Amino acid sequence: MCGIVGYCGPKNATGILLDGLKRLEYRGYDSAGIAVQNAGRVDVAKRTGKIQDLRSVVPPSFAGNCGIGHTRWATHGGVTDANAHPHSDASGKIAVVHNGIIENYVQLKARLSSEGFVFASETDSEVLAHLIAYHYDGDLEKAVRATLAQVKGTYGIAAMHADEVGRIVGARNGSPLVVGVGDGEMLLASDVTAMIAHTKQVVYMEDGEIVTMTRDGFSITDLKDRKLDKKVDSVTWDLDEIEKEGFACFMEKEIFEQPETIARTLSGRLDPEYATGKLGGLNMTSRELLGVRRIKIVAAGTSWHAGLVGAYLIESLARIPASAELSSELRYRNSVVEQDTLYFAVTQSGETADTLYAMRELKRKGARVLGICNVVGSTIARESDGGVYTHAGPEIAVASTKAFTSQLAVFYSFALLMARMRDMSVSAGARYVKGLQAVPELVRGVLKQRDLIQTIAKKYSRARDFLFLGRGLEYPVALEGALKLKEISYIHAEGYSAGEIKHGPIALINEETPSIFLVPDDSLREKVISNMKEIKARRGPIIAFCCEGDDEVAAIADDTVTLPKTDELFYPFLMVVPLQLFAYFCALELGRDVDQPRNLAKSVTVE
């Protein structure tokens, strides 16, 4: 969600902060601001809108060597200049930026107001600036530590004081914060993308840690002022991976990267010799895996849809009961943790709040939780008992695409591993490995349908409602297709099992409501065709995604996109990509901001 960037060094901080905030745009925001130390004062500029709007109000006099910046996604208080960060105290000497939610801010604000502190915004975050001022006696780190002792909630913060030149104090609890170690300069950010242009050496902060940094280095302590030794990690990807590289927007680029990202996720995780999967990061022996009697997948949004596919595969191939649950529901339920149950926490960012807290609750009860995530060094990657990185590379567009197919690739590898330990024969495993290895090239073939999908999207982009329908493995894909259309085009869309249309959704069918059917050449094809005929009988427009040469489906549908044939297990990869393109082209046709859709954020780090 919100983004933080900070800089201490020999260079002009202003440009570095603005560029860093620009790289954090993908997280979603509605206002932005920076604060820069300058000649014994702290200059603040902030406003609603995009980073270019902020640039227009930053004067040339902002020329200090130390500063902090922020992109805000409104939670407490409307989208106004006053509610934008940074927030200051009455003296104007303190500046604070904050990600997260201060749960007891009402009580703190009332107490501070009674002592004469005057508030200029409606936010919970401004409380931090005044509390730091209340505790300040010449030592900013000490004042921040005293402030945090009174705060309940989540935070990633960065603070400066005009009298402590060249110094930034940051702290983390439930909201990510990363220290960047440069050559004679230091950076602080909520995401490494903000600092990758300056350094690849980073330190990932944990909850309950406070960092104090100057251009010469940093120190990290806990809330009780005990010094901590922290490992410096190296970022493995390059700056060009977060550039558009000739594509119109990041979502388009990431859709077209999927042949490579799927192959990268599978690389080294298939063993053709033994016809099985290899996932060393699980940190489990073969005997421990053999003892697993149930698998539960915990996730949110797109990752939940990938988990639904994963659960279906694991049950079908490995014959282990499996289910996927919404992390936002599980974390507040008094869940039963069984001894032989293995849990997966699935998230692109590794910071999704609901999934993180659900994982912590499960671990508190003694569960073994493995992570599946994309971001190396993220909180879930560090706190899980083991897991798998998807290695999809940075995903900048808010609407997830390549992360979904990479998560699928992990589940396909894991399902193979578990199946070969149980009932799957060597010959069946070998066919599975061969089919899975062919998926990247098949996806590349699907992407060649770009122009046809764009034409169909243009035809239907003015519809107000859509139904996405599939069965078996394609049911979660239908859910994901509907989500993508909602996210970036703002068209109402619902995903259903095609067999469920008679139980309510068929009442919505009319000549103005298109239905998108996923009809692979699988064991449920005839059932889905029957559902198509029910829609057709009620004059509902039908768009079908089916296999090459399927004349029966083409004769029923108004528009058809044909896909290459493969084993029925692998169609989710081939079906989801054209749905992503369909949503993308609908959004373009309607003039939407594809990469940064309204009200949405890339990394949901608050409830």
What local confidence, expressed as pLDDT, does residue 512 receive? 94
479-519 pLDDT, tens digit per residue, is 999 999 999 999 999 999 999 998 998 999 999 999 999 99
Q: Is 46 a catalytic residue?
A: no
- Sorted by where each begins, the domain ranges of the chain are 3-235, 245-437, 446-595
Burial of 360 (0-12, 13-18, 19+ CB in 10 A): middle
Query: For position 344, what pLDDT does the model report?
Result: 98
What pLDDT does 1 receive?
58
Cis amide bond preceding 86, omega within 30: yes
Report the topology of domain 446-595: Rossmann fold (3.40.50)
CA 405, 409, 415, 420 torsion-angle sign: positive
Residue 331: per-residue pLDDT: 86
Q: How, if at all, do strands 542-547 and 515-519 pair?
A: parallel
The CATH class of 245-437 is alpha beta
* Residue-level pLDDT at 238: 72
Whole-number pLDDT of residue 60: 87
Per-residue pLDDT tens digits for 192-228: 889 989 999 999 999 999 999 999 999 999 999 999 9
- pLDDT at residue 607 in the model: 61
Contact 158, 4 (CB under 8 A): yes
Q: Are 346 and 298 in contact (CB under 8 A)?
A: yes
- Please say if 2 is a catalytic residue: yes
The catalytically annotated residue of 2, 249, 373, 586 is 2
Largest CA distance in the chain: 79
The ranges of the chain with pLDDT < 70 are 1, 239-240, 602-603, 605-607
User: Does 245-437 match 3-235 at the fold level?
Assistant: no
What's the mean per-residue pLDDT of the chain? Answer: 94
What token pair was written down for 318? 């490995």
The listed CATH number (3.40.50.150, 3.40.50.300, 3.60.20.10, 1.10.10.60) that belongs to domain 3-235: 3.60.20.10
pLDDT digits (tens, 9 = 90+) for 272-327: 999 999 998 999 999 999 999 999 999 999 999 999 999 999 999 999 999 999 99
What are the tens digits of pLDDT across the range 355-399? 999 999 999 999 999 999 998 888 899 999 999 999 998 898 999
